[in-house]
């Protein structure tokens, strides 16, 4: 029994972190090319920047948005300040720009503020973004151009970690994020994408549905778009930049929070997980999201079963089954203790990141099962 569990767990982990992407590549080759966007299509756009105590970054972020190459008469920047107690509101007012509007919200949480502001917006397209992010000047035009297709309800931009001035930014992304971006491109090509980055995505205003206060817009908006029979697409030319998180503790807390909210939000739209009703989207959601969040179960089951087999029936076969699991945990542990900066052992950083992500998934899913809720901003 133990060898069967080991093999099954290993196959599931392979599918989640490599096999699924390879299957999507094959399906994309079979489908062939699809139509792309045209930057000449220019709907009216409202950029919604929801903030709480962002005095240190809000002016720089607004200036970054104002530097977009989108026509002035079609672009509005709305800063929804949700219960800010620092100088955020005064700084936005002092900018005194005709395309920038401040809306003061009572402090009910990010999603509550978004639900209050969005019904008042008149634009055809609404862009969601964060204060700590930076857009390329063509981000808005490239995303807006995708809405020329009336079947498209939401567009995800390409989020990169690092500085726009860093020539190595495209190659410095971690394994996890490179694979995530690959999946989004492939799923978009196949018309089964239901995932976006909250740091920068756009939705057709007619597709927006008021959100539950404890579910983030990056989770629930694309699911509602797909449920309404519209498509979510990824636009790799629309590049946004965010900074790497400082410290493993910050990374862990953020991933726990994201897992908790996304797990709850995805199951709130459980009809999309039914392969009989939504075969393509269900295939993507199970492989891209649900199984990934459950990967700690396969990791623990495989490791424990391999250990049991090696102890209860020592042999070359049981030792061979145990070796990959010990190697993974050994490399991750070595990196945690000795190699944070020097990275002398190849693969140790990847192993550590993989184990850290799985720890976050396990904690996030467990908290979701217990009914915990999150309404905080990304820096809280």
Please give the class, per CATH, of domain 45-244.
Answer: alpha beta
- The C-alpha angle with vertex 351 and arms to 347 and 352, in degrees rounded to 5, equals 120
Q: Which residues of 352-363 are buried (b: 16+ CB within 10 A; e: fewer)?
A: bbbbbbbbbbbb
For the chain, the average pLDDT equals 90
> In the chain, what are the domain boundaries?
1-33+254-380, 45-244
Read off the pLDDT of residues 44-71 as tens digits, 9 standing for 90 and up: 999 999 999 999 999 999 999 999 999 9
The distance from CA 109 to its chain's CA centroid, rounded to whole angstroms, is 20
| Res. 243: pLDDT tops 90 | no
Q: Above 50 in pLDDT, residue 198? A: yes
Q: Please, what is the end-to-end C-alpha distance for the chain in angstroms?
A: 45
The average pLDDT across 375-379 equals 50
Give the model's pLDDT for residue 313: 87
Q: Whole-model pTM?
A: 0.90
Query: Of 112-121, 239-248, 311-320, 371-380, which range is least confident?
Result: 371-380
pLDDT of residue 173: 53
113: phi then psi, degrees, rounded to nearest 5: -60, -40
Identify the band that residue 340 occupies on the pLDDT scale cut at 50, 70 and 90: low
DSSP classification of residue 15: I
pLDDT in tens, 218-227: 999 999 999 9
Q: Torsion angle of alpha carbons 50, 56, 58, 59, nearest 10°?
A: 170
pLDDT digit string, tens, across residues 302-317: 999 999 999 998 999 9
In the chain, what is the greatest distance between 2 CA atoms, to the nearest angstrom? 75
Outline where DSSP puts E strands in 193-311. Answer: 200-204, 231-242
Q: Is the pLDDT of residue 277 over 60?
A: yes
Element spanning 216, H or E: none
> For residue 349, what pLDDT band results from cuts at 50, 70 and 90?
confident
Q: Is the pLDDT of residue 102 over 90?
A: yes
> At CA 17, angle to CA 178 and CA 253, rounded to 5?
70
Q: How many CB atoms lie within 10 A of CB 59?
A: 17
The whole-number pLDDT of residue 99 equals 95
Residue 170's pLDDT is: 44
Tokens at 115, concatenated: 């639900």
* Res 40: pLDDT: 81
User: Can you tell me the distance from the alpha carbon of 80 to that of 68, in angstroms, rounded to the nearest whole number?
Assistant: 20
Identify which has the larger pLDDT, 93 or 40.
93
pLDDT tens column, 129-168? 999 999 999 999 999 999 999 999 999 999 998 766 554 4
3-state secondary structure of 126: strand
Integer Cα distance of 324 and 117 in angstroms: 51
């Amino acid at each position: 029994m133990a060898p069967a569990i080991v093999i099954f767990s290993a196959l599931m982990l392979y599918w989640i972190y490599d096999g699924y992407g390879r299957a999507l590549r094959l399906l994309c080759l079979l489908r062939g090319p699809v139509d792309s966007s045209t930057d000449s299509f220019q709907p009216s756009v409202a950029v919604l920047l929801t903030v709480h105590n962002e005095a240190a970054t809000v002016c720089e972020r607004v200036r970054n948005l104002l530097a977009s190459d989108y026509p002035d008469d079609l672009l509005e920047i709305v800063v929804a300040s949700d219960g800010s107690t620092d100088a955020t509101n005064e700084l936005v007012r002092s900018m005194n720009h005709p395309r920038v509007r401040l809306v003061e919200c009572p402090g009910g949480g990010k999603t509550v503020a978004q639900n209050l502001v969005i019904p008042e917006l008149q634009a055809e397209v609404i862009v969601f973004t964060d204060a700590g992010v930076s857009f390329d000047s063509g981000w808005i035009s490239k995303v807006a151009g995708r809405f020329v297709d009336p079947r498209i309800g939401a567009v995800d931009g390409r989020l990169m970690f690092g500085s726009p001035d860093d020539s190595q930014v495209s190659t410095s992304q971690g394994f996890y994020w490179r694979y995530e971006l690959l999946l989004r491109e492939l799923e978009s090509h196949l018309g089964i994408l239901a995932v976006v980055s909250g740091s920068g995505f756009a939705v057709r205003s007619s597709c927006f549905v008021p959100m539950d206060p404890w579910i983030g817009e990056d989770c629930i908006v694309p699911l509602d778009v797909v449920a309404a029979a519209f498509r979510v697409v990824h636009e790799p030319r629309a590049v946004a930049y965010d900074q790497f998180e400082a410290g493993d503790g910050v990374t862990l807390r953020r991933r726990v929070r994201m897992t908790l909210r996304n797990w709850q939000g995805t199951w709130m739209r459980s009809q999309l997980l039914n392969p009989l009703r939504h075969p393509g989207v269900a295939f993507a959601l199970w492989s891209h999201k649900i199984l990934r969040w459950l990967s700690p179960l396969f990791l623990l089951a495989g490791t424990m079963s391999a250990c049991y087999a090696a102890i209860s029936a020592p042999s070359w076969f049981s030792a061979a089954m145990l070796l990959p699991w010990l190697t993974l945990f050994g490399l991750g542990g070595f990196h945690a203790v000795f190699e944070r900066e020097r990275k002398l052992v190849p693969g140790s950083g990847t192993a550590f990141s993989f184990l850290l992500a799985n720890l976050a998934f396990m904690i996030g899913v467990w908290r979701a099962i217990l009914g915990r809720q999150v309404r905080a901003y990304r820096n809280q």
